[in-house]
Each structure stands twice: as structure tokens, then as C-alpha cells.
Structure 1
């Protein structure tokens, strides 16, 4: 598929809304996405089929339900990069949307890693503490490997097609947060240990009291106001 064809897939507001909703890393049903975007079931089905055919989404069927998700980290990175060039200049339409955007700005998932103020704070602290380095490209240091190991994350087991660690430009903070396999593993650990909790069905996260303690002890972060 050509660059123009891929760009065309995201040039439609409904398809773009679907992709941004799926940025929470989970699978959604076609009906859930239709309600989220405010379109009919038939419109949702048509637009989802185009995104699947274009390789941005994959689908799974369980009984009568059709589940879709982003096809992988490459698709997520593409959409996040485009989103960073297109902030919503119109602002929130109502109080509910304003509340959602505020929560997402504080802490959210960016596909499968931490983003928002929390994600950027984690990335900054990791650099300041020498857990990662940018001296010869972004990499985990030996102290960083031990830090991950103390969390029960074996970085050597994360080898695969995606980078172990990379930066991702945060579209609300305009600074980098940590992505890649290591960033995803850290996000998964934070969710597993309930340092953060999902707010509803969206991307926003709530930092729990346990999370404030953990991030303070592990990275020296003061998240009392988060």
C-alpha cells in the first residue's frame, strides 16, 4: 500500500476516531466503536473493513461479536506520530470531554506504554538516574537492567522485532516518553501491580495511592498532585 493510500485511510474523521480509541491497546467491538464515534453500525462496519484491509487494524471473531484492535506497535507509532502534528485546536466541546482530556493529559496509555505527564516524568527520572542513556542512541544501562530485573522484568526475554527501547513524542506534553518493549513491560507491570488503574473504557489512567508510593520509591517522583 502506498503512502498516499495509508494517509487516505486516516483522512476520514470516523476512521481516525476509531484508531485513536483503539490506542488504549485493547480490543473493541464494532458496536462499541460505532457508539464512540456516533455513527451507525453499518457505517462502522464499512470503515473498519477499510482499516483492516489497509493493515492498520486486525480483527478477531468470538461468536456473534467482531473485535478489532490496532495491528501492532508499528501502526500505533504511525498514529501517535501523526497525532502529535495535529493537536485539537477546537478544544473540548463540553465538560465531560474536558474532564476526559484532563485525565488523559495527566496519565494515559499510548498503545501499550505510559504517556501523559506520568509517562514523561518516568522518562525524565530514568534519564536523570542513569537507568537509560542517550549517549549513543537510547539504551538501557546496566543499572537500568538491574532496576528492571528488580521489578521482575527480564529485558533479555523481550528480544523481538520491535526495539527494546525508543522515545515516543508525547502529543500533550510535547516531550518524549519511553516506548518499545521495555516501555510496554513497565506499563504492564504498573497495571498488574495496580500502581495505575484504567478510567472507564478509554486511555486515561488513575494513579493509585500504591502507585504514588511505588513511583516515589523507584524513581523519586512526587505525584501527590497527579
Structure 2
């Protein structure tokens, strides 16, 4: 015999801690996140997140993946099913504070990654450039999803993109001249891409990515939440411009 009845109460107790549920919820969309990011999204201290992750890993609900010096945590698919089932039978929580998680949400929506745009806005713009032929994939895989072997939260050593035939026309809609950007980039690659840490999809970097970010800021399409802060805010003017010129519609 393999043992007695399943200890359901012990597993259920893992979902009974509000702080631990915030960690689980942050992972529920399939992202693999570093402990520091989880701490920000869940509004917890680093030691607190580490303690919760240790219990979740011990129970087999969370898996870890190492990338460089960092370890990223992902919720197992069957754990997501448990969380979704519990959510269907749970009442809505009252909103008691707007401060918790605000900065993390802002960073996830749009931020600078060095000198280019990342977050949900960055990956959406990159996907739109692929959809409109300004960029084309060279590996036979459509779209900007993570490829096998892509290191989490790092620039791609080799990327599967090239300029597409529609690049001059599409980028002109955004106020960029491809030849001018190429001439001004110096020794920097025109095209480079990162695996976005919050969205787990590719976003555009390199000379072209930097030129786009500069253009967005110059035109007032995005602004910084405050000086020196990485988080970006998409203005109404920017939302209209990106919707009209690229078909990008991203809710903050």
C-alpha cells in the first residue's frame, strides 16, 4: 500500500494564506518570475517571498528555472487549475488600498529597458511590427513568443528577426527613417531583441528600438511617471497614435 488517504487539508492550507495567494496569483498567467519581481507584485519582503516559495516548491506547486545568476519561478499547470477552481467559489475581496502593487503594475505595463521600451507596451509594438511586415521572422515560427533556449530576462544572443519589406513604410508612420536610423547607430546592431521579463515575449532593442523609444518620448506619446523612474505612462495622444498607425491597443 502506498499510504492512507490524501492529506487534502495540508495542501489546502497552502492556499489559505493571503500573502501566499498573492504570490500564486502573480504566477497564475504562466509567467516565470524572479523572487524580486514576485516580491514587488505581491507587496511582500524578499524573505517573505522566499519562505512562501520554499513551501510551494516543497508541495510541488511551483517549479524553478535558473537563468544566469537568477532563479525564476513558475506555477505548475495543475496548480493553476486549483487556483482557478478556488476563485470560482470565492467572494470578491474588498479594495482596501490602491498603493499595493501599483508600481509593479506600472512597470509591467510599460517601462524602459536600458534605452528601449519594454513591458506590455513594448511587446505589443514589436508584435505589431511583425504583423505589418516591418519585421519578419527567420526561424519559421510566427509571432514574438519565447523560443526554446531563450534565456529568461536577458537579451537574445541570436534573434530570429530581420527587417521586412514593409519596414520603410510602417516606420515612416511612426516618424522614423530606417536608413537614417541605420546610419546613426554606429557599431551598435540595428536589430536586437530581449525576452521581456514580465511578458515572456520578445521586445525590440538595438538601434531601432532605441530610436523608437526616443521618438515616443519626443512626441509625448509616452512620459515617465517621474524623473529617473523606469515606468512609462502611455498618454492619450500616444494611445491614439499607436492605435491609428499600428493597430496597437494596450490597456494600462
Q: TM-score range by the shorter chain?
A: 0.5 to 0.7
Whether the aligned pair in 2 keeps the contact of 1:133 and 1:139 (CA below 8 Å) is yes
Whether the aligned pair in 1 keeps the contact of 2:117 and 2:213 (CA below 8 Å) is yes
Q: Which secondary structure state, in structure 1, belongs to the residue aligned with residue 230 of structure 2?
A: coil
Pairs within 5 Å for 1:133-148: 133-135=136-138, 137-148=160-171
Whether the aligned pair in 2 keeps the contact of 1:131 and 1:140 (CA below 8 Å) is yes
**Equivalent residue for 1:98?**
101
Greater Rg by CA: 2
**Equivalent residue for 1:182?**
208
2:196 corresponds to 1:170: yes
Q: Per the alignment, do residues 158 and 84 of structure 1 end up closer, same or farther by CA in structure 2, a change over 3 Å counting?
A: farther
Shift of 1:86: 5.9
Shift of 1:198: 0.3
Q: Whose helix fraction is larger, Structure 1's or Structure 2's? A: 1
Determine the C-alpha separation between the residues in 1 that align with 2:176 and 2:194: 24
Determine the C-alpha separation between the residues in 2 that align with 1:89 and 1:216: 31
Whether the aligned pair in 2 keeps the contact of 1:145 and 1:155 (CA below 8 Å) is no
Aligned length: 143
Q: Which secondary structure state, in structure 2, belongs to the residue aligned with residue 142 of structure 1?
A: coil
Determine the C-alpha separation between the residues in 2 that align with 1:117 and 1:152: 22
Unpaired stretches in structure 1, ≥5 consecutive residues: 1-82
Q: 1:125 aligns with which of 120, 124, 128?
A: 128
Determine the C-alpha separation between the residues in 1 that align with 2:114 and 2:215: 15
Determine the C-alpha separation between the residues in 2 that align with 1:111 and 1:159: 15
Shift of 1:96: 4.0
Determine the C-alpha separation between the residues in 2 that align with 1:185 and 1:218: 17
User: What is the TM-score of this pair, normalised by structure 2?
Assistant: 0.52
Q: 2:221 aligns with which of 195, 213, 220?
A: 195
User: What is the TM-score of this pair, normalised by structure 1?
Assistant: 0.57
Whether the aligned pair in 2 keeps the contact of 1:84 and 1:170 (CA below 8 Å) is no
Unpaired stretches in structure 2, ≥5 consecutive residues: 1-31, 45-96, 140-159
2:219 corresponds to 1:216: no
Shift of 1:107: 0.8
